[in-house]
Amino acid sequence: MSLVAFCDLYMPGSFNSSGNSDMELVYYTLITLTTADYGDITHQLPLAQSLAMLIAVTGQFYVAVVVAILVGKYAGKN
């Protein structure tokens, strides 16, 4: 969330949100992290696009690591 806020603060117009609250940036980060990407808030600049890709990949790696840990724990018991 802080990277998105930093990008929006120092590069105004990075996202097409109204900018009325920080909750819009939290919403954008969580939706991008889960790769649902509804499209109501989108990135407008190349740096924001790169940040969105980084957030999406991080979300997928997180899920992959959690699943690998769970499978490893349950597979090790047999």
Residues in a beta bridge with 34: none
Per-residue pLDDT of the chain (78 residues; tens, 9 = 90+): 688 888 888 888 888 877 667 888 889 899 998 888 788 888 899 999 999 999 999 999 999 999 999 999 888 776
CATH topology of domain 2-76: Helix Hairpins (1.10.287)
Cα atoms in the 13 Å half-sphere on the side-chain side of 42 = 4
Tokens for 51, please give them.
């940040």
Taking a C-beta distance cutoff of 8 angstroms, is the pair 55, 33 a contact? Answer: yes
Residues in CB range of 54: below 8 A, 6 or more apart = 3
Question: What distance separates the 2 farthest-apart alpha carbons in the chain?
Answer: 55
Tokens for 16, please give them.
């097409």
